[in-house]
A and B are shown apart, each in its own frame.
Chain A
Amino acid sequence: MALKITLITGRTINQGVSIENKTGQDYLKATACCELNSKNIGILGREPGSNVRVKTDYGEVVVTLKENEGNPDSIGFIPMGPWANAVVDPDTRGCGMPGFKGIPADVEVTDDKVLLMKELIAGYK
């Protein structure tokens, strides 16, 4: 079953620490994840650390579930980076800025793996 969320993307400290090392495992761990609160994770019926597919009108991406009790119900957060950007709104709405926050998204459980940075970008070529 798909959980309907509003997706936001943004900075985290571990994303910052590994930002100059984007081929590394630490960057993947820091950014290829989706933070939801435990109640929302419960609705999906999976544990933190398992994989989910996040789908929007603009794309889909597989990331790891992470618990963050600071998120209100139905707010999902993916740290900024290639995985978040696979599903954000590219339209700049006439002012230069794409839609990185407030994107309606569906989250569903999956057994598919999280793509490595190189694999993800290879899909764009």
Chain B
Amino acid sequence: MTVITDALCPFCGCLCDDISVVVEDNKIVDVKNACKIGASKIRGHHRIKSPMIRDDKNSDFKEVSYDEAIDKAAQILAGSKRALLYGWASALCEAHKKGILLAEELGAVIDNTATVCHAPSALAIHEKGVPTATLGQIKNRADVVIFWGCNPVHSHPRHMGRYSVFPRGFFSGKGRRGRKIIVVDVRKTNTAGIADEYVEIQQGSDYLIISALRAILSGHEDVVPESVGGVARKDLLRIAAILKEAKFGTLFFGMGLTQSKSRYKNIDNAISLVTELNSFNKFIMMPMRGHYNVTGFGQVCTWETGFATAVDFSSGAPYYNPGETAANDLLYRKEVDAAMIIAGDAGAHFPANSVRELAKIPVVQVDPYWNPTTEVANVVIPSAISGVELEGTAYRMDGVSLRMRKMIEPEHLADEEILDRLIARVREIRGE
């Protein structure tokens, strides 16, 4: 029996680094300190055992060797004119680097799961920059914390305990009692249940509310109507006063902003709000990143290509224009002629219209688990679980890089090795 302490949880952007696991005969038999979601991921689920291929998506898969599956995948990708390489959030940065190399080799488009998550935040940040901090700074200093359009009780269960609401820090010795918590949402979530102030807004009116708060803070409360987006003016005045009086304010935001009507313009407006608050105090903001290493893909892709995601290599140089080059743009316009879905599940998390399109083209899947993407795949290459069976680099939601630890020995190939072999085979085929 081995006990591994200070391991990292490979599920959400909190990247909790205080996990203990007990290993017996290369099996994880106990997980301590992780939340319900993290423990479920670390304990593991039913796996895809063997590589599989099929020509007809309505027929059964045939089990094959890794060599045969990688060869078939390389044939599909090398033969494509406009391939999409999508996923990456559950892979390590070492694999991201190889994925970008493969995209360049193929002249493909590479996009990650941020495309259905925080890519609009990246777009807004490109326009304006962002005042931000680390989770450690927030834990030690924040006295006003807003959760806008996010529900960490469900999506990041230990976030509030470790970083943002309950912990006692260097300058925040009173813990929860010393922090004012504000939740802005369209429904009373469990996170709203622990807030000091819950602001319920009409769905899709985030931009209006942010604008009203900005008007009040700049001394123009006279232009704010009696009610904005379902929120009474007097409530907006009270919230604005709390924001203004904060010593160190933090705005955490989620899909409520990135996926609602105004999408990236919501974030753009929120950046302006937070920037303006900095003329009164210290105020920062941070996207609640979902997958544990979705931030890492953005980092690697930015230093390799200059852009965070949705990078098109078809002209030979990286080109980025979400709205044109993001995964769902391409599928909506029926432009893609082959796809590799790796460490992400487009079949489950893309709109039906995009999944229908994936069902029409050759699809290669690289993943540990059988999921909706498997149902539309032609080639399935099972992979080891990064952060459980493989060590490597991941980035926490605040952009701090951490080393994931290996807990048990893998029985499947690592993403990195699969990509190395794919690149080599694609080069061979294209050189022929």
- Chain A bound to chain B: yes
Do residues A91 and B349 form an inter-chain contact, with CB atoms below 8 A? no
Q: In the complex, which of the residues A23, A96, A100, A101 has the most CB atoms of chain B within 10 Å of its own CB atom?
A: A96
Using known A-B contacts A95-B323, A125-B57, determine if residue A100 contacts B255 with beta carbons closer than 8 Å. yes
Q: Is the CB of A16 within 8 A of B155?
A: yes
A13 with B372, Cβ < 8 A, contacts A95-B322, A125-B359 known: no
Contact pick for B376, options A6, A87, A93, A121, CB 8 Å: A121
Minimum CB–CB distance for B206 against chain A, Å: 10
Q: B376 and A124: CB pair below 8 A? A: yes
Task: Tell whether B263 is near chain A: CB-to-CB under 8 Å.
Answer: yes
Contact of A94 among B58, B323, B371 (CB under 8 A): B323
Grouping DSSP codes into helix (H, G, I), strand (E, B) and loop, the A interface class, with mixed when no group exceeds half, is: loop
| Most chain A Cβ neighbours within 10 Å, of B40, B264, B351 | B351
Looking at the assembled complex, report how far the CB atom of B36 sits from the nearest CB atom of chain A, in whole angstroms.
Answer: 6
B151, B187, B325, B359 — most chain A CB neighbours (10 Å): B187
Closest to B368 in A: A20
How many CB-defined contacts (below 8 Å) exist between A and B? 176
Identify the closest chain A residue to B369 (Cβ): A20
The interface size of chain B toward A, counting residues with CB under 8 Å, comes to 66
Pairwise interchain contact B255-A10, C-beta atoms closer than 8 A:
yes
Q: Interface residues of A, CB < 8 Å — how many?
A: 52
Chain B CB within 10 A, most for which of A11, A72, A92: A92
Q: How far is the CA of A81 from the CA of B96 in the complex (A)?
A: 25
- Choose among B123, B327, B350, B353 the residue with the greatest number of A CB atoms under 10 Å from its CB: B353
Cross-chain contact of B352 among A17, A24, A58 (Cβ < 8 A): A58
0 or 1 for each of B164-199: is its CB under 8 Å from A? (1 = yes): 000000000000000000000011111010000000
Cross-chain contact of B187 among A75, A80, A90, A117 (Cβ < 8 A): A75
Question: Could you list some 20 contacts between A and B, CB below 8 A?
Answer: A8-B186, A11-B155, A20-B40, A23-B371, A70-B189, A70-B190, A70-B192, A80-B349, A85-B349, A85-B351, A86-B352, A93-B263, A94-B323, A95-B263, A97-B120, A101-B203, A120-B372, A121-B376, A124-B355, A124-B356
Hey, which bits of chain A sit against chain B, CB under 8 A?
Answer: 6, 8, 10-13, 16-24, 58-59, 68-72, 75, 77, 80-82, 85-102, 117-118, 120-122, 124-125
